[in-house]
Chains A and B, each alone.
Chain A
């Protein structure tokens, strides 16, 4: 009984939409396609407009997603439990303070490192001092950002050696002059990472042995050292470059992920014993990423909004051509009406034609952006997600509907007699 009622309801709904049965829909589609075939150039150009709009929006979205993924991976590769201690109030009220970040001054020293190490929850901790130093290799002389730290810095940043080894506690205690290079500097200075291994490099006229090259990871920035483009030196032998023996940042990880919040508080308390609360900032990886993310979302939104203007222009093009189509088929409309087609049938006839037209544009736009993304992928991790597919198709149906409704209404309002008589 209930089932029958439901069936009736659906039938009623379909009737309301003017679709008495599926055959009718198939009929509509084939009618629309016949008309589109008759005007091939017109159909092609109309779809082309929408195609360009859809593919530019989809492509820009995929590039944005790719960029976001690169940075997200970079953050993730550090582990979600990373805590960064920075000097000054670099972040306040969830905002990144440029004025303060620009003048970061190394304030922390070994006492702070020891104090944080003493917290029971600490798993690894590494201080770092960053400086631009000049490197003289076989191929080139270049300035690189140099991270001066302990052997634990690699554990904290999840850095692995591609070839050779990382520096160890014994390098630090023996004050050995060793350097670990990122893939970028190794390639620039020696032509290839393999070639750089075990060579001597002159750093501001001091000679260091290259003991390891890091595995490439991409990214960097936002307060986190890049694995690829930096050079890492052990802090004892490199203290010539850091005579004050002060650190710019301290990176730490707790033993358990669940204790992150507590650990952060403990670090905060430990540092408050020595410093004023305005002197340092304790951040976790997620806070850093969220700040970046919110800026990125705004920029991406602006770009997409501008690209979407072309969709509006494409929609206007469809509307224009549908008005032409109505005028040209005025006789056909009259004859259809005379044979018993209702206003609604004519409305649906024209509306389905526009929606099909724009949907084809949407599909082709998706297809083209998919092909383009395939070509981009070897160089950049752009990708199209399900959301953009759904959005692209919904938007093209929406544009078809919005731009088709006025011409279709015009067609439907024609009286049969008028329409047939029209010359």
Chain B
């Protein structure tokens, strides 16, 4: 132990002598480590963001979609084409099944929405009133439409906060106003509270215009649905319910014409895509760590050559090869570890600032990855110069000019 503290003191003294050199060497590692940590932080933040978003949209949810969306293990985004379109009969059949808490069919169409002279492109979401409790969509102001509004085909609409803001300046202003979609005038009876997000694989519930599905039949002439979303009463029934829904639909459709997906499956497929992209970026950032390591090796060689005399004298008064080796190795490990720790601190500060605008997160894995990799860089790139130092014969080293 005493030997170790002695070595440590030696290193620090050497660093003090060459402050600028120590600073620049660590700076290289610092930049490498902090770029890796920041990328990990962005990856973790995004993953958590996606998970939260999916979770806030309710659990135990099954989505019935046209086409086979899971092809050979991967999610085929935007490829669920040419499958079937579900109709009201399918909806009624599924509704009768046991173990369902909520069920909402959906007809979705990108439309031009006009309100008080402003026109915006948005998505019409024609469905039933059950979508709101199922997806935890709460009201900012106003009320929901009811089952009665569906049978009466009332021209009532509930706006997501994003589209309400785009059309009326402030989302609250939209209440009791009217919006025009393809020659139909809807009265806005409610504005939803913001769910946040959207665009990262999850549906963007903030920018939908919700209307009773029967009212939308004048736009949706085929009277069909793009998707049917179902919430199971309990997670225990989820696999059974999934199978039952498949069996019911198989009576009418072929196997590749539709998919029954658990929300979890879609969520994990989206997560996997993000993780792969994140890993590639981290690997590219890792190149800078290697370049930093080469910098350490270079400076350690300089250090060995400068201290030939010192090494010779140490050896002459009894230091073993091992002593010299550990002295130089410790020095390079400390150099890179300092860079690693400072990099960690720097990225921690950056995430503190960035986290206000963008989801970032540093966890124990990120911390250990950075510390282990910087220590490893110190050892890998320090060992050859340290070997050179320890293999010098004492006589040669002292005589060297």
Residues of A within 8 A of B (CB): 41-42, 45-46, 48-49, 52-53, 56, 60, 88-90, 92-93, 97-106, 129-134, 143, 145, 204, 248, 276-278, 302-303, 306-307, 309-310, 312-314, 316-317, 319-321, 323-324
CB pair B302 A42 closer than 8 Å: yes
CB pair A132 B301 closer than 8 Å: no
CB pair B71 A132 closer than 8 Å: yes
CB pair A278 B284 closer than 8 Å: no
Instruction: Give the chain A neighbours of B219 by CB distance below 8 A.
Output: 276
CB pair A306 B85 closer than 8 Å: no
CB pair A101 B78 closer than 8 Å: yes
CB pair B32 A309 closer than 8 Å: yes
| Nearest neighbor of A107 in chain B, beta-carbon distance | B222
B86 to chain A, nearest CB (A): 11
Task: Determine the distance from Cα of A133 to Cα of B109 in the docked complex, in whole angstroms.
Answer: 26
Which positions 279-306 of chain B face chain A at CB distance < 8 Å?
A: 280-281, 284-285, 287-288, 290-292, 294-295, 297-299, 301-302
Contacts known (A93-B121, A306-B35, A316-B24); A278 close to B109, Cβ less than 8 A: yes
Q: Is B256 an interface residue (CB 8 A)?
A: yes
Instruction: Give the chain A neighbours of B81 by CB distance below 8 A.
Output: 104, 130-131, 248
CB pair A309 B285 closer than 8 Å: yes
Task: Determine the distance from Cα of A56 to Cα of B79 in the docked complex, in whole angstroms.
Answer: 34
From B82, B203, B288, contact of A99 by CB (8 A): B203
A382 to chain B, nearest CB (A): 16
Contacts known (A52-B290, A56-B287, A131-B82); A99 close to B281, Cβ less than 8 A: no
Q: Is B20 an interface residue (CB 8 A)?
A: yes
Instruction: Give the chain B neighbours of A53 by CB distance below 8 A.
Output: 287-288, 291
CB pair B27 A316 closer than 8 Å: yes
Instruction: Give the chain B neighbours of A278 by CB distance below 8 A.
Output: 109-112, 182
Task: Determine the distance from Cα of A103 to Cα of B110 in the docked complex, in whole angstroms.
Answer: 10
Task: Determine the distance from Cα of A327 to Cα of B321 in the docked complex, in whole angstroms.
Answer: 29
A188 to chain B, nearest CB (A): 12
Q: Is B338 an interface residue (CB 8 A)?
A: no
Beyond A303-B281, A323-B24, 14 extra complex contacts between A and B, CB < 8 Å: A41-B301, A42-B301, A53-B291, A93-B121, A98-B78, A99-B110, A99-B203, A100-B123, A130-B81, A143-B68, A303-B284, A316-B295, A317-B295, A324-B299
Q: Which 4 A-B pairs have the closest CB atoms?
A: A317-B295, A310-B288, A131-B82, A100-B110
B321 to chain A, nearest CB (A): 21
B264 to chain A, nearest CB (A): 19
Which positions 77-122 of chain B face chain A at CB distance < 8 Å?
A: 77-83, 85, 108-112, 121
Instruction: Give the chain B neighbours of A143 by CB distance below 8 A.
Output: 68, 71, 256
Enumerate 20 A-B pairs (CB-CB under 8 Å) in ascending A order: A42-B302, A46-B298, A53-B287, A88-B110, A89-B110, A103-B108, A104-B81, A248-B81, A277-B112, A278-B110, A309-B32, A313-B31, A313-B292, A317-B294, A320-B295, A320-B299, A321-B298, A321-B299, A323-B20, A324-B21
From B27, B121, B298, contact of A89 by CB (8 A): B121
Instruction: Give the chain A neighbours of B226 by CB distance below 8 A.
Output: 103, 105
Q: Is B28 an interface residue (CB 8 A)?
A: yes
Q: Is B193 an interface residue (CB 8 A)?
A: no
Among B35, B68, B81, B199, the one with the most A-chain Cβ atoms within 10 Å of its Cβ is B81
Task: Determine the distance from Cα of A74 to Cα of B235 in the docked complex, in whole angstroms.
Answer: 46
Instruction: Give the chain A neighbours of B254 by CB distance below 8 A.
Output: 204
Instruction: Give the chain A neighbours of B27 by CB distance below 8 A.
Output: 316
CB pair B39 A306 closer than 8 Å: yes
| Nearest neighbor of B254 in chain A, beta-carbon distance | A204
Contacts known (A309-B31, A320-B24, A324-B21); A105 close to B287, Cβ less than 8 A: no
A58 to chain B, nearest CB (A): 12
B207 to chain A, nearest CB (A): 9
CB pair B109 A313 closer than 8 Å: no
Q: Is B67 an interface residue (CB 8 A)?
A: yes
| Nearest neighbor of B22 in chain A, beta-carbon distance | A320
Task: Determine the distance from Cα of A105 to Cα of B109 in the docked complex, in whole angstroms.
Answer: 10
Task: Determine the distance from Cα of A217 to Cα of B374 in the docked complex, in whole angstroms.
Answer: 46
Instruction: Give the chain B neighbours of A248 by CB distance below 8 A.
Output: 81-82
Q: Is B25 an interface residue (CB 8 A)?
A: yes
Task: Determine the distance from Cα of A324 to Cα of B304 in the docked complex, in whole angstroms.
Answer: 13
B122 to chain A, nearest CB (A): 10
B333 to chain A, nearest CB (A): 18
Among A92, A101, A103, A278, the one with the most B-chain Cβ atoms within 10 Å of its Cβ is A103
- 1/0 per residue B200-239: CB within 8 Å of A? 0001100000000000000100001011000000000000
Instruction: Give the chain B neighbours of A99 by CB distance below 8 A.
Output: 108, 110, 123, 203-204
CB pair A310 B291 closer than 8 Å: yes
Instruction: Give the chain A neighbours of B108 by CB distance below 8 A.
Output: 99, 103
Instruction: Give the chain A neighbours of B285 by CB distance below 8 A.
Output: 306, 309
Instruction: Give the chain A neighbours of B79 by CB distance below 8 A.
Output: 145
Among B110, B256, B299, the one with the most A-chain Cβ atoms within 10 Å of its Cβ is B110
A145 to chain B, nearest CB (A): 8
Instruction: Give the chain B neighbours of A129 by CB distance below 8 A.
Output: 82
CB pair A45 B297 closer than 8 Å: yes
| Nearest neighbor of A133 in chain B, beta-carbon distance | B256
Contacts known (A132-B67, A316-B27); A49 close to B291, Cβ less than 8 A: yes
Instruction: Give the chain B neighbours of A92 by CB distance below 8 A.
Output: 110, 121
Task: Determine the distance from Cα of A143 to Cα of B20 in the docked complex, in whole angstroms.
Answer: 64
CB pair A319 B110 closer than 8 Å: no
From A45, A90, A103, A302, contact of B298 by CB (8 A): A45
A369 to chain B, nearest CB (A): 13
CB pair A313 B291 closer than 8 Å: yes
A18 to chain B, nearest CB (A): 26
Contacts known (A102-B78, A277-B112); A310 close to B295, Cβ less than 8 A: no
CB pair B298 A307 closer than 8 Å: no
Task: Determine the distance from Cα of A10 to Cα of B378 in the docked complex, in whole angstroms.
Answer: 50
| Nearest neighbor of B85 in chain A, beta-carbon distance | A105
Instruction: Give the chain A neighbours of B32 by CB distance below 8 A.
Output: 309-310, 313
Contacts known (A41-B301, A313-B292); A319 close to B287, Cβ less than 8 A: no
CB pair B123 A42 closer than 8 Å: no
CB pair B24 A52 closer than 8 Å: no
Task: Determine the distance from Cα of A102 to Cα of B108 in the docked complex, in whole angstroms.
Answer: 10
Contacts known (A60-B284, A88-B110); A312 close to B302, Cβ less than 8 A: no
Instruction: Give the chain B neighbours of A103 by CB distance below 8 A.
Output: 80, 108-109, 226-227
| Nearest neighbor of A318 in chain B, beta-carbon distance | B295
Instruction: Give the chain A neighbours of B294 by CB distance below 8 A.
Output: 45, 48-49, 52, 317
Among A56, A104, A277, A278, the one with the most B-chain Cβ atoms within 10 Å of its Cβ is A278
Instruction: Give the chain B neighbours of A320 by CB distance below 8 A.
Output: 21, 24-25, 28, 295, 298-299
Task: Determine the distance from Cα of A45 to Cα of B298 in the docked complex, in whole angstroms.
Answer: 6
CB pair A88 B295 closer than 8 Å: no
Instruction: Give the chain A neighbours of B302 by CB distance below 8 A.
Output: 42, 321, 324
A127 to chain B, nearest CB (A): 13
Instruction: Give the chain A neighbours of B292 by CB distance below 8 A.
Output: 313, 317
Task: Determine the distance from Cα of A52 to Cα of B290 in the docked complex, in whole angstroms.
Answer: 9
